């Protein structure tokens, strides 16, 4: 007998996006330069096929068309980010009136179609002038960010009731300061720690500013949670997984939800001599300004084991000094992205949030599958038959449904993403959308099979 998976009537069905990946118009209407615009100017070779952030799916010009299509595909909510450098071109100072007009029009258009805007304030796109001041390493940039957040609350808080301070704040911290994937591509663990601490501080300060305004909404954060599974139940493997979890999940999850930092991580930072600079009142401020709502991005698990070899004491410090990655035999893979597909991980995260984080109100804010060369799957009518994506979502949603049955306070599911978008370094190599974009035909939109599947899901609440 086939089991029905029926979701609550008020479940949030929608998709997620970000300004830099979707808007385009990178140099139009007074938008300032962000770190991606700058990096593409100086090192276009860093980007897949040298496709930069000005060449996206043109949401800036085509938002009305796209929002109408979202409605057609069953969305009742849509998460996007405001571009800091579009709203305030250098990150501080005068507000760009054309940006205000654009975001007002987007929000009004969403509401007119019965779609609630979920608005994120920061998605990897530091204004260039603020990065020149040190980015998240700098206390002055934290202050500029909070001012920017306050400006957004004052301009748009009448219509936006779901705010988020950051999307995946650990990603810029890792990729800008450890692994070299985002500008300025440093390898400096001390700067990494300081940037991470300031990101959390900025989030808490923005939460405080929002709550002071009594605007009647909720403010949260969106975290990419990658559950750390040990190779075995050997104590050394279990300890390695616990440390990996402290570095990559609890470093932001604990202070955001509990207002505290994981002791395992603090102990390592003290032992290795990498504690951040903390000013009087910072810890209390973080403790007293935690999130109302948690967005959870889930793509893949992390599998780890105890260290098998001594590290090079002269090499830069990395978290991997405390564990090795484990290549588990027989794992299911997305070969295009190189990521493991482990659907039960989404259930494990939700149960962890239920049991260890007060069962805070949460939702799946991103889940998705990137695939190369999807035109292989075009049918005679010109539609991409992406059954693999439908299966990916269905198998994850079954575990979300089980989490609901087991008491999780999960309120929604947003796919990544609505329409094929530009990715930070991969451009359009891997496609994620419910809607395809033909770059050779003026970004023509065509709904994929998964888009029609999503519409049925959103309308009926039933897999």
Give 143-174 pLDDT, tens digit per residue: 999 999 999 999 999 999 999 999 999 999 99
In the predicted structure, residue 3 carries a pLDDT above the cut 90: no
For residue 449, is it within any domain? Answer: yes
User: Is 116 a known active-site residue?
Assistant: no
For residue 5, is it within any domain? Answer: no
Cβ-in-10-Å burial (0-12, 13-18, 19+) of 412 comes to buried
The alpha carbon torsion through 296, 353, 221, 345 (nearest 10 deg) reads -20
In the predicted structure, residue 1 carries a pLDDT above the cut 50: no
d(CA 176, CA 174): 6
280-308 residue pLDDT tens: 999 999 999 999 999 999 999 999 999 99
In the predicted structure, residue 191 carries a pLDDT above the cut 70: yes
For residue 1, is it within any domain? Answer: no
226-238 residue pLDDT tens: 999 999 999 999 9
| 366-390 average pLDDT score | 96
Mean pLDDT of the chain: 97
Note the pLDDT of residue 4: 85
Note the pLDDT of residue 158: 97
Question: What percent of the chain has a predicted confidence (pLDDT) above 90?
Answer: 97
48-94 residue pLDDT tens: 999 999 888 999 999 999 999 999 999 999 999 999 999 999 999 99
DSSP state of 55: S
Query: For residue 315, what is the domain's CATH number?
Result: 3.20.20.80
Tally of domains within the chain: 1
108-145 residue pLDDT tens: 999 999 999 999 999 999 999 999 999 999 999 999 99
For residue 370, is it within any domain? Answer: yes
d(CA 198, CA 135): 10
Cβ-in-10-Å burial (0-12, 13-18, 19+) of 285 comes to middle
For residue 4, is it within any domain? Answer: no
For residue 376, is it within any domain? Answer: yes
Catalytic residue, candidates 366, 381, 385, 395: 366
Per-residue pLDDT band at 425 (split at 50, 70, 90):
confident
304-321 residue pLDDT tens: 999 999 999 999 999 999
Note the pLDDT of residue 2: 52
d(CA 50, CA 37): 12
For residue 6, is it within any domain? Answer: no
In this structure, how many other beta carbons lie within 10 angstroms of the beta carbon of residue 68?
Answer: 13
For residue 2, is it within any domain? Answer: no
In the predicted structure, residue 198 carries a pLDDT above the cut 80: yes
Comparing 143 with 440, which gets the higher pLDDT? 143
20 lies in which domain range? 12-460
């Amino acid at each position: 007998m086939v089991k029905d998976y029926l979701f609550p009537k008020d479940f949030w069905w929608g998709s997620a996006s970000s300004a830099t990946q979707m808007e385009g118009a990178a140099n139009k209407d007074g938008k300032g330069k962000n770190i991606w615009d700058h990096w593409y100017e100086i090192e276009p070779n860093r980007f897949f096929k040298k496709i930069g952030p000005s060449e996206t799916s043109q949401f800036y010009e085509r938002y009305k068309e796209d929002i109408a299509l979202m409605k057609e595909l069953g969305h009742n909510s849509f998460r996007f980010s405001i571009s800091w450098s579009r709203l305030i071109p250098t990150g501080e100072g005068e507000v760009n009136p054309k940006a205000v007009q654009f975001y007002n029009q987007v929000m009004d258009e969403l509401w007119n179609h019965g779609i609630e805007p979920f608005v994120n304030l920061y998605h990897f796109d530091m204004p260039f002038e603020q990065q020149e001041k040190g980015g998240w390493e700098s206390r002055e940039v934290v202050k500029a960010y909070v001012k920017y957040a306050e400006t957004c609350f004052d301009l748009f808080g009448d219509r936006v009731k779901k705010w988020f301070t950051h999307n995946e704040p650990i990603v810029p911290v890792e990729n800008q300061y450890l692994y070299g994937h985002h500008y300025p591509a440093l390898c400096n663990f001390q700067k990494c720690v300081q940037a991470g601490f300031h990101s959390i501080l900025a989030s808490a300060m923005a939460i405080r500013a929002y709550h002071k305004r009594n605007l009647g909404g909720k403010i949260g954060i969106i975290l990419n949670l990658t559950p750390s599974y040990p190779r075995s139940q050997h104590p050394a493997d279990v300890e390695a997984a616990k440390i990996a979890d402290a570095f990559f999940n609890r470093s932001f999850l604990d202070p955001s939800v509990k207002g505290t930092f994981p002791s395992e991580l603090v102990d390592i930072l003290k032992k290795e001599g990498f504690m951040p600079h903390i000013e009087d009142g910072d810890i209390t401020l973080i403790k007293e300004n935690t999130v109302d709502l948690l967005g959870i991005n889930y793509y893949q698990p992390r599998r780890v084991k105890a260290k098998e070899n001594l590290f090079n004491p002269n090499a830069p410090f990395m978290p991997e000094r405390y564990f090795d990655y484990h290549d588990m035999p027989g794992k299911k893979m997305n070969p295009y992205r190189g990521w493991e597909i482990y659907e039960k991980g989404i259930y494990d995260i939700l149960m962890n949030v239920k049991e260890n984080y007060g069962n805070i109100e949460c939702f799946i804010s991103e889940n998705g599958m990137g695939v190369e060369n999807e035109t292989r799957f075009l049918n005679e009518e010109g539609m991409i038959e992406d059954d693999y994506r439908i299966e990916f979502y269905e198998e994850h949603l079954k575990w979300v449904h089980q989490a609901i049955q087991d008491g999780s306070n999960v309120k929604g599911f947003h796919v990544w993403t609505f329409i094929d978008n530009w990715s930070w370094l991969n451009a359009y190599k891997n496609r994620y959308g419910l809607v395809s974009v033909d770059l050779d035909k003026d970004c023509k939109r065509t709904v994929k099979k998964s888009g029609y599947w999503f519409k049925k899901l959103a309308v009926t609440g039933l897999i």
